[in-house]
Copies of this chain bind each other. A is one copy, B any other.
Amino acid sequence: MSLVCLADFRAHAQELLCKSTWDFIDGGADDSVTRDENIAAFKRIRLRPRFLRDVSEVDTRTTIQGQEISAPICIAPTGFHCLTWPDGEMSTARAAQTADICYVTSTYASCTLEDIVSAAPRGLRWFQLYAQPDRLLNKQLIQRAESLGYKALVITVDVPVPGNRRRDVRNNLDLKANLLLKDLRSPKERYSTPHLQMTPIDPSMCWNDLSWFQSITQLPIILKGILTKEDAELAVRHNVQGIIVSNHGGRQLDGVAASIDALTEVVSAVAGKVEVYLDGGIRTGNDVLKALALGAKCVFVGRPILWGLAYKGEHGVQKVLNILKKEFHTSMSLTGCRSVAEINRNLVQFPRL
């Protein structure tokens, strides 16, 4: 079967991967209400296309944190890429570099940051941090990333404790999986035998701790997982440089709003003071357009990247990104947007139901 849309890659990955890996990637927390809402909420939004505007030239380029990317479609941090392709994040990084977009490397990458950078030295990359209870380990990780050329620090705020993913519990994931987590080991251990190691996350982290992070790095700090205006205002007040509106793909707290439904509240609250991004539920170019129309500066894509990896490693990820970028280009053409700057709130409406 030819793979012509991201949903095709999902079906293909489900066939290729073993059940416990598929469940780990695909599962949501509890009843997966929010995971499914992420998709459904996009479908409820209607586009308002404008015509006769000369779209012979459409430019999808934009910037995030001052860096140009070829389209507002980047790679969200997800862990353990070696579960789906042998050299894991190295393939992901190469595909991102080719596509000229940003790849956010996860704390739970199965390759070392050094290997990832070597694989694609010219790519734009951000580093995502799960704050560890050991402050020194945080400092080492962040400064290592900074010195390797990572351009921003993404701190995930929605995992003070792990979400309740039933399929992983049923699969007894801790025992069976064979995950690599080299970055969180000491240099000595880093190249030892791989094994599963989801290190404890620091549940005590709070707003006041942000100043410590700001003191140890020059990187812009972006909070990932903000869903309310109250937290968005606190983020601005604590001088972060960006917010990723995200519900962790529905994997943390079930029953929260779809990320696209939470976006408007956060965008209003920050009032343009920092860049706002979104992940969760992006499956077509129209979804990208809707997110930008509602105020996102760019979107991040999670699970579809893993589907691409499972399909054909670097080339699979490239194919996923190319489809999404091509669809987004078509979406812009069909709504009369010649540049990303022309995408605005008038392009969308919520339907009468």
Contacts and interface: CB of A to CB of B under 8 A. Distances in A.
Interface in A203-239: 203-207, 209-210, 225-228, 230-231, 234
A33 interface: yes
Contacts of A4: 166, 169-170
A96 to B, nearest CB: 23
Interface in A30-55: 30-31, 33, 43, 45-55
A32 to B, nearest CB: 11
A5 interface: yes
Contacts of A284: 30-31, 254
A2 B173 CA distance: 13
B327 A164 contact: yes
A160 interface: yes
Interface in A294-353: 327, 330-331, 333-335, 346, 349-353
A2 B170 contact: yes
A322 B350 CA distance: 37
Interface stretch (A113-121, A134-142, A255-263): A255-263
Copies in the complex: 4
Contacts of A334: 158, 160-161, 163, 252-253
Nearest to A234: B52
Nearest to A42: B255
Contact of A353 (B164, B206, B331, B353): B353
B54 A2 contact: no
B158 A227 contact: no
A157 interface: yes
Given A4-B169, A31-B284, 5 more contacts: A2-B169, A2-B172, A46-B257, A52-B231, A257-B351
15 contacts: A4-B170, A43-B255, A47-B255, A48-B227, A51-B157, A51-B225, A52-B210, A53-B207, A54-B204, A55-B161, A161-B330, A161-B333, A253-B331, A255-B290, A257-B351
Q: Which 7 A-B pairs have the closest CB atoms?
A: A56-B204, A51-B157, A253-B334, A54-B206, A161-B333, A4-B169, A56-B203
